Amino acid sequence: MPFFLISHKDNDYMKKSITLIIASALALAACGQAPQQNAANNSASATSAASSAELSTGAAPAVEPTVLTSKDNAFRFNPDASFTDKSSESSLQPQDVAADSITLLQYDENRNLTLTAVQNGKAKGEVPALLGKIKTQLQGDKALSNVVIDDTADRRIDYRFVRKDKDQNIAESCFTVVASDNSIATICASSSDMSLDDVHDFLTRTVKVGA
């Protein structure tokens, strides 16, 4: 693989680890759509996330942009380390999520840390009811442990948990937000090498809602 090498096991982990299915399934159901087949979208290449900073020019080495914005402008990411854009690599995209729905996909090899943002479509009906469904599903999922759901705003829910994948404990922390036009966006950070508290701290420090 370009840029860095990871084992097949780690590759499988990265593809499955982002639990956006919870928010995705509810959002798609809310707007009356059926989940798109991942295989049909594997050939689709997601474009790189837009950057608010320009690369340096001339003979000086290129400088990493300091802020990245998801393609739908739902989230701003200020990297705290060296991240690599993986938005065009279908093998690293979360399962059951269409490639063109992925608005940001960044990976930090040193911490085995993945950050993925997804546009979930538009919600129909009452937003509090939709967020309530997400909360209920999280609380009732026996595959998850250490579930924490923070007090939410009217159009946002923050949650984190640990889940088991084969012999790995995967810590994940997510934001799901509903914009004023009822478009739903979710961003999750996940790692099998970091603690849940550390993953949550990373997400809250580096990601802001809105462009």
- 21 inside domain: yes
Evaluate whether residue 60 is within a structural domain.
no
User: With 50 as the cut, is the pLDDT of residue 93 above it?
Assistant: yes
pLDDT at position 168 over 60: yes
Q: Does pLDDT of 51 surpass 80?
A: no
Check residue 153 and give its pLDDT: 79
pLDDT tier for residue 124 given thresholds of 50, 70 and 90? confident
Number of folded domains that form the chain: 1
Q: What is the CATH number of the domain that holds 177?
A: 3.40.1000.10
Structural domain includes residue 25? yes
| Nearest by Cα to 27 from 106, 99, 101 | 101
* Contact in structure between 25 and 13 (CB atoms under 8 Å): no
- Are 117 and 74 in contact, with CB atoms under 8 Å apart? yes
* Residue 47, domain member (yes or no): no
Which DSSP category does 34 fall into?
A: P
Whether residue 20 is contained in a domain is answered as yes
Q: Is residue 173 part of a domain?
A: yes
pLDDT for res 64: 53
Task: With respect to residue 150, please indicate whether it lies within any of the assigned structural domains.
Answer: yes
Q: How confident is the model at residue 6 (pLDDT cuts 50, 70, 90)?
A: very low
Is residue 14 within 8 Å of 107, Cβ to Cβ? yes
Taking the C-alpha atoms of residue 9 and residue 128, their distance in angstroms, rounded to an integer, is 38
Per-residue pLDDT band for 65 (boundaries 50, 70, 90) equals low
Q: Considering the domain boundaries, does residue 127 fall inside one? A: yes
Give the span between the Cα atoms of 187 and 102, in whole angstroms: 10
Q: Is the pTM of this model over 0.85?
A: no
The DSSP-derived string for 73-89 is: SSEEE--SS--EE-TT-
Which residue range forms the structural domain that includes residue 13? 8-34+65-208
- Compute the chain's Rg from CA coordinates: 17
Report how far residue 46's alpha carbon sits from residue 32's, in angstroms, rounded to the nearest whole number. 24
Distance CA 112, CA 187 (A): 17
> Residue 92 is encoded by which pair of tokens?
């690293």
Q: What pLDDT sits at residue 35?
A: 39
Distance CA 114, CA 192 (A): 10
* Mean pLDDT score of the chain: 76
